[in-house]
A and B are shown apart, each in its own frame.
Chain A
Amino acid sequence: MTAVADAPLRVVIAEDAALFREGLVRLLSERGHRVCAAVADGQALLDAVAAHRPDVAVVDVRMPPTRTDEGLRAALELRRDHPGTGVLVLSQYVETRYAARLLEGNAAGVGYLLKDRVADVAEFADALARVAAGGTALDPEVVGQLLGASRNTDDLAALTPREREVLALMGEGRSNAGIAATLVVTTGVVEKHVASIFGKLRLPPAEGDNRRVLAVLRYLRS
C-alpha cells in the first residue's frame, strides 16, 4: 500500500485558504509528490491544469469569487476537458447533490472527501494515489448519503449489516485488501461478502476495483 502512496505524482492544488494550501503543499512534498502549482480560485486551477497536465488536482469546493460551489464547477470542467487528470475534491461539508454531479456518468479518477480526512495523512495519500490512478475515493459520509438517497431500499434491506459495511467501503473505493484491513478480517471473507452483495443486488461479477465502484455507484444512483 505504501508503495502506491509513495509513487511520485504531479499535483495541482486549488484552495483559497492560504494556511491550508501551504499545509497541503508541505504534506504532499514531504511524501515525495511534486506540486506543480498551488492556486486560489477556479479559473487559475483550469489554467494551471491546462499548463501542467498533472496526474491529479486537489480542489476546494468554496473558492472566490462566489464562495459557493466555484471549485465544484471547476472540477466538473476538468473532468470534461482533461479526463486524464484525476480530481480530488475537498470540502468542509459533503453534499449529496455535489457528489451526484461529480460522479455523473463516470466515477473514474474522482474523489470527494471532507477536509478532515486530510488529517489522516496516510489514508489521504492513499486516496490521492487512487484517484490519480483512475480509481475512486469517496468520503464515508458521501457514501452514507448516497446509500440514504438511493431509492432501491428494498434490495438494500436484503443485505446483512456486515454486507452494508462492505458495500459502503466498496463505495469509498477501497480494494478487497483495504476492506479486509479496515474490518480486521481476511481477504477471503471480504471476497465472500462481495460475491454475496453482487448476488443480492443482481449485479454481474466484474473484475477490478474501478468497475466495482462504478457498478455500486450506478446501483446507488438508479
Chain B
Amino acid sequence: MADRSPRRLTALVGLLVLALFLLPWVVGRYSVYLAIQILILSVFSLGFNLLFGYTGLLSFGQAGFFGIGAYACAKILLAVPNLFLGLGGGVAAAGVAAVVLGFLSVRHTRIYFSMLTLAFGMMVFSIAWKWRDFTGGDDGLVGIPRAPLEIPGLWSLSVATQERYYYVVLVVSLLAIWAMYRLVHSPLGLTLQAIRDSESRAEFAGVPVRTYRLIAFTIAGLYAGLAGALLTPLENTVTPPIAHWSTSAEPVLATLLGGVHVFGGPIVGAFLFFMLKDIIVRFTQYWLIWLGAIVVALVMGFRGGVASIFARR
C-alpha cells in the first residue's frame, strides 16, 4: 500500500481538511447535516475495515457496538449533560462489549466468525428492543440534550447549534482518522495484515494470532461506539434500529464502494454512500433493496471499489 506521490497526496488531504473547516460558511444547513453523517459513517467504516481489509475478519454485527455507543451516550447525557462524558462513556461501553464478544468470537474460523457477529449484533438489537425499562423499548430514548463540552467548574462550551456540533464531530473524526492512519502503518498494522494473509505463517512468526484478532476487534468496536456516540447528540433520540443488521450493512457497503484495500476507501465510500442514498430515497422508500443490489453488483464485478479505478494507472 505504498503512496505513489506522498507530497501530492498530503497536499490534497490538507486542502480537503481546510475545505471541511470552511464548509458551514459555504453550504446550507442540510449539507452540513449530511457532512456530519458522512464523517460519522467514515469513523464507523474505518473501524469495520480495520477488521475486514486489514485483518481479514468480516463482521456483520458492528451495528451492535454502534448501538451500544449511542445508547450509553444517551443514558449519560440524560443524567449528566456533559459531552465529554457522553462521548467517552459511549466509547468505553462499546469497548467493553467488544472485548467480551470478541473473546467469544475470534477463536473461530472466518465463516463461523461472521455468523457469530451477525448473531451477536442482533442480540444487542433484541435487548434494545425488549428492555423497555432501560432502553425505552421500540420507542427508544428521546429528549437527549446536545450537551455542552464541559470541564466542571472550569470551562464550558455550548455546542447546541448544528454548526458548532459539526465542528465537534469534525475534530473528533479527524483525530480518529489520524489515529487509524498511524495504526495501520505501525508494527501492529503490519501484524494484522500478516494475520490476514496467512494465519498459520503468522503463528510461526511468533505472533499470538487470537490475541491480535481480539485487539483488532476491540478497536473496531471502539470506533463503532464512537460513531454511535457522535450520532446521539445530533439526532437527540436513540431507537433500536441503529443496532439492526441493516445498519451493520452501512459500513460494509461504504467500504466496498470506496475500496477495501486502500486506507481512504471507507471514507470515500461513506461519501458515495450518502450521495447514493440521497438520490435513491427521493424516488422510493425501499432503500434496502437498492443497498443490497449495489452490494451484489460490487461483489460480482467490482470488488476493488472506486479505489480500483485509480489503481489501474
User: Are A and B subunits of one complex?
Assistant: no
